[in-house]
Structure 1
Amino acid sequence: MKIAIIHDWLVTYAGAERVLSALLKIWPEADLFSVIDFLSDEDRAHLGGKHAQTTFIQHLPKARTRYQQYLPLMPLAIEQLDLSGYDLIISSSHAVAKGVLTGPDQLHISYVHSPIRYAWDLQHQYLNEAGLNHGLKSKVARMVLHYMRMWDQRTAAAVDEFIANSQFIGRRIDKAYRRPSTVIYPPVDTHGFDLQPVKQEYYLTTSRMVPYKRVPMIVEAFRAMPDKHLIVIGDGPEMDKCQALGATNVTLLGYQPFSALREYLRNAKGFVFAAEEDFGISPVEAQACGTPVIAFGRGGTLETVHGLDHDQPTGVFYHEQSVAAIIDGVREFECNAHRITPQACRENAERFSEQRFEREMRQFVESRWNQEHPPVAVPSPASAPRLSLAPALAVAAKPL
């Protein structure tokens, strides 16, 4: 069968692209499609060097750096991809990829990282962070997001099966599309990290410094705990806010190569996480190193971290995105750190390995394909009716 894999856009290699990489490992013969493709050679190597067939947005001005400004055009663009020659379509979608046009004889399975976040339940947060609360630009943005919601819900009806990357996203799918989904957690390279039972006296957070990650809030919390040391790895538009806080007990390292990131994860006393993530790969990578997690208790981390109510805890939850709550979370962790073992953290992380993802994904797709295309039963020689030549021979033997 001919297979097509569709991804929203290819600009950087992040969490959604790790899923895409795993899909291409399972089905390396698949053709790849995307709204735009500006991956670097280094990032493309994770996709086996494969280039995507793109849309007209690829050739619009500044599409490489300001592609999100073309969001209103993306439904039109994704619908222009001609997939009529494919039997199986797998979309990897957090925006528009699931909206590709398919026919009744094609099987479309959509792996959903999230329904379009800024068009559904996070619309008001997005408008606030973008400074679009008032004025003409705000009205235009709200109209565009309203259109995106209508299009997103309508195109959900053409998907044959939804796969959610967590139970949290499964509930979002049900809320937005009124459709059931199957949870298959994303792949995490647990083998790329090793268990380190002996820890050093510092806390760590690693993240792209974008607003919803709340990195400045973590820095501010540790500024209020001068006896504790925090190391921050990552870069982005929120870096200036972190630097302006002037926390002398916080070390801002900016971007670091993977080898350095892994060493800091292995040796950290605890990993601090403040985002409400759909899944959240970083907390799982920390646990793969045997490092406990102190996390905001909403979203995917509730499924990837075992709290203190578990018989084998791997971290501590705080339940409000605030400086005071993070401080309380760190203190609760220090009071209960003796209950959390590096081995328990590592064993929990193994639940999300790449091998597990590939096995579950392949089994799901093959099972669904076989439902649509049951094998034709061919009678065995023993059960097939026998053709006798005796009547013909008898007729031939009669005299004329």
Structure 2
Amino acid sequence: MSAPRIALVHERFTEYGGSEAVVAEFMKTWPGAPVFAPITDPRCTRTLLEAAGLSPGTSGTGGPGALSTPASELVRDTWLSRAYAAGGRRSHAPLLPFAPRAFRALPLDNAYDAVVVSHHAFATQAAFATAAPVIAYVHSPARWAWDSAFRAREAGGRAGQAVLTGLGALARRNELRAAPRLAHVVANSQAVADRVRDWWGLPASVVNPPVRVARFAPDPSIEREDFFLFAGRLVPYKRPDLAIAAAQRAGVRLVILGGGRYRQQLEAMAGPETTFLGAAPDDVLLDMYQRCRALLMPGVEDFGIVPVEAMACGAPVLAVGAGGALDTVVPGISGEHVPAGNDAEVTDGFARAMRDFDPAAYHADTIRKHAATFSPETFRTRIADIVSRNSR
């Protein structure tokens, strides 16, 4: 029996993050499958190929006509990439209104047994470009389109709010148009599956995204220190402001690891108990995971890669009890849930959790064993089974 002919579709390759890491695992699952995206940046696609275990000179054998295809040709873009390059690759945002049309025009035709789509805004529009079954791996329906409170935090002012409101209406309309054409929906957490049910009216399986748990591990020679850690991009929805306010209230040390547009505002509100280290490479991140008392996750994440990385190092996680944390943080085993609520309630909850934190209540080996259940190998096995059952 011949291997299934699979095509992969992703939103865009403009920076490398969690959703791009999922695509890299797709590429390992179906070697040689072509990857379509309307907008690409060579720097991001180079990182993608490396993460997939490929180099520009290697070849793949997955898609029709793709025998011995050089890896550098596996990622295929559209005219939007040329427009992006012409603008100096400064921002992809002005091109997003054109993305639905670009997805619908992808050359998928009838050449594949299944199309696997990595979606968080417009990618499910690829369902209009093929008669093959389309399996959508949904990082989330576009939260800035469906959730007005989320949109207000991300907009960055009145002008941004107006732009996101218009773009959100386009995203909602297109997501709903594509939903009936999907053969199967896979959500990256139960919280995202609930959104798919509520916003699209569809059921969804849950397959948590892959986490590089083998890259992160406890070091018995390193002792835990007396600081809590926030790690991640400094953007509003991750709520580093709540971590800072809670540390001030509790009178405990906090280390902020990460960079972003929110940093100057955060530094203005922080007290002497908070230290900003900026963006850092994996070795610094690993060191901080191994030294911190616990990681803080005050924002509601779709899933949350960072908490699982920290748990792989034996660090417990204090997380707001909503979103992806309900999938990853097991109270009394790998950390604790802080009750969700308004900003004042969440701040009080984190302050109390940090003030009362007892490191002796957690065991690094138990935490790491839990983190191992989110390995890339587990992800590839589960997603391959779903696609196989839904291919023609």
Q: State the TM bucket, normalised to the shorter chain.
A: 0.7 to 0.9
1:326 matched to 2:352: no
Deviation at 1:34, TM superposition (A): 0.5
TM-score by length of 2: 0.86
Partner residue, 1:214: 239
1:251 aligns with 2:275: yes
Question: Superposition pairs for residues 19-30 of structure 1, below 5 Å?
Answer: 19-30=22-33
Higher deviation after alignment, 59-68 or 75-84: 59-68
Note closer, same or farther for the CA distance 1:79–1:105 as it changes in structure 2 (3 Å cut).
closer
Instruction: Output one character per residue of 1:47-92: Cα deviation in whole Å (capped at 9) or x when no partner.
Output: 4344521122112243722212222111111111110122221101
1:6 to 1, 9, 20: 9
Structure number with the bigger relative contact order (C-alpha 8 A, sep ≥ 6) is 2
Q: How far is the alpha carbon of 1:97 from its aligned partner? A: 1.3
Which of 335, 341, 346 in structure 2 is aligned with 1:314? 335
Distance 2:243 2:389 in 1: 45
**1:188-222 deviation per Cα after TM superposition (whole angstroms, max 9, x unaligned):** 11111112464111111101011111113312322
Contact 1:294 1:330 in 2 (8 A): no
Alignment of 1:68-147 (within 5 A): 68-84=93-109, 85-102=111-128, 105-120=131-146, 122-131=147-156, 141-147=164-170
Q: Report if the CA contact (8 A) 1:99-1:155 is conserved.
A: yes
SS in 2 for 1:163: strand
Match in the other structure for 2:58: none
Q: How does 1:105-254 map to 2 (within 5 A)?
A: 105-120=131-146, 122-131=147-156, 141-196=164-219, 198-226=223-251, 228-254=252-278
* Structure 1: gaps (5+ residues): 373-400
- Distance in 2, Cα, partners of 1:281 & 1:365: 23
How many Å separate the matches in 2 of 1:323 and 1:149? 31
Inter-CA distance 2–129: structure 2 relative to 1 (3 Å threshold): closer
Partners of 1:3 and 1:72 lie apart in 2 by 27
- Quick check: 2:318–2:335 contact (8 Å CA) kept in 1? no
Q: Within 2, Cα distance between the matches of 1:44 and 1:219?
A: 37
- Secondary structure class of the residue paired with 1:343: helix
Alpha-carbon offset, residue 243 of structure 1: 1.7
Distance, in Å, in 2 between the alignment partners of 1:230 and 1:39 is 37
CA distance in 1 between partners of 2:344 and 2:246 (Å): 5
Deviations 1:356-386 (A, max 9, x none): 11111112222323xx4xxxxxxxxxxxxxx
For 1:261, what is the secondary structure of its paired residue? helix
**Cα distance in structure 2, aligned partners of 1:123 and 1:77:** 27
Contact conserved, 1:16 with 1:113, CA < 8 A, in 2? yes
Q: Distance in 1 between matches of 2:42 and 2:248?
A: 38
Deviations 1:80-117 (A, max 9, x none): 11101222211011111111145775121111111111
Q: How many residues align?
A: 363
Give the CA deviation at 1:128: 4.9
1:386 maps to what in 2?
Answer: none
Q: Is this contact kept in 2: 1:203–1:272, CA < 8 A?
A: yes
Instruction: Go from structure 1 to structure 2 and tell me whether the alpha carbon gap of 1:176 and 1:220 turns closer, same or farther (over 3 Å shift).
Output: same
2:41 paired residue among 35, 38, 43: 38
Partner SS for 1:58: helix
Q: CA offsets, 1:118-166, max 9 Å, x none? A: 111x234314542555x8x755653442232111101111111111111
**How far apart, in 2, do the equivalents of 1:208 and 1:330 lie?**
22
Q: Which amino acid in 1 is paired with 2:335?
A: T
Change (3 A) 1:71 1:266: same
TM-score scaled by structure 1?
0.84
State the match for 2:381 in structure 1. Answer: 359
Are the equivalent residues in 1 in contact too, given 2:247–2:351 (CA < 8 A)?
no
Change (3 A) 1:204 1:165: same
Q: Is 2:303 the counterpart of 1:279?
A: yes
Letter in 2 for 1:214: R
Q: Distance in 1 between matches of 2:155 and 2:131?
A: 42
Over 3 Å counting, the alpha-carbon distance change for 1:250 and 1:143 in structure 2 is: closer
Q: Please name the residue that 1:56 is paired with.
A: 79
Unaligned runs of 5+ in 2: 56-70
Paired with 1:330 and 1:289, the residues of 2 have a C-alpha distance of 23
Contact 1:163 1:181 in 2 (8 A): yes
2:382 & 2:314 partners in 1: Cα distance?
25
Query: Quick one: distance in 1 between partners of 2:304 and 2:365?
Result: 20
Determine if contact 1:7/1:92 at 8 Å carries over to the other structure. yes
1:342 paired to 2:364: yes
